[in-house]
Amino acid sequence: MSQQTPDAPAGSVLPPAGSGKRVRVHHLTAAKAAGERLTMLTAYDAPTARLFDEAGLDMLLVGDSIGDNMLAHENTIPVTLEEMIPPARAVARSTKRAMVVVDLPFGSYEGGPQQAYDAAVRVMKETGAHAVKFEGGARVADQVRLITDAGIPVVGHLGFTPQSENILGGKRVQGRGDDAAERLCEDAVALQEAGVVAVVLEMVPAPVAERVTEILTVPTIGIGAGPSCDGQVLVWLDMAGMGDWSPRFAKQFGQVGAALRQAAQTYASEVRSGSFPAGEHSYQQ
């Protein structure tokens, strides 16, 4: 039986947990206007998505980070659209409140608006998700515009864009220096004018992220971008302490990996000793 989730703060513009009401696009802009922080985590499967939904997360991202976090790739680049569909479907089916956002993986939108539209339509039709996300600024504005005109919400992604890590020279902070910061702001405005409903800012200096947040009317979601963004997102494995390492910008809010390892060790020990299964775990007739 799931635990009771505390109600949202008095006066919250977001649907309260347990209300059965979905977080929608208009809630995002209302939350920004009200100064209410948005919460987002990645999710890649049904049990995790259900737990996060019950915990009151506003948005769940089925990220192409599935590549280096769940599929044992070195980065996100090898992930295909076909690999994104099943986890996105599982997450969308397992949530009642959270807005489910799905990444378009590398190679599924860069070719132009029609390619991006086709990929986005497939995601929406085959998964039941509520929005798509992809990387880039002004260069993908036409893609954003066509997809948005078709009625599909788009979340932008600026700063460090993992699909471009080879041309960026690795996992490096973006937007450093006046010129780079100005370009990032211009890209953010271009995305907003094209119709995005939110913009993820990854590995961006906090003052630059604060500036972008000020000039946009749509919310910013930070990951390694300081405290001034309108919301925050983390890869859930980093948040929950599933490994021995996590990025500098992440905080481990639990030690789930250690607890899971201990549970598995205890299980193996009891099976080997013969203490499991005991009588209460067995059918007698």
* Residues noted as catalytic: 202
**What is the rounded distance in angstroms from the CA atom of residue 258 to the CA atom of residue 235?**
17
SS3 assignment, position 135: coil
Q: Which residues pair with 232 in a beta bridge?
A: 39, 222
Give the C-alpha separation, 27 to 56, whole Å.
Answer: 14
Q: How far, in Å, CA of 126 to CA of 285, rounded?
A: 45
User: How many Å apart are CA 245 and CA 198, to the nearest integer?
Assistant: 29
Cis amide prior to 219 (ω within 30 degrees): no
d(CA 123, CA 101): 10
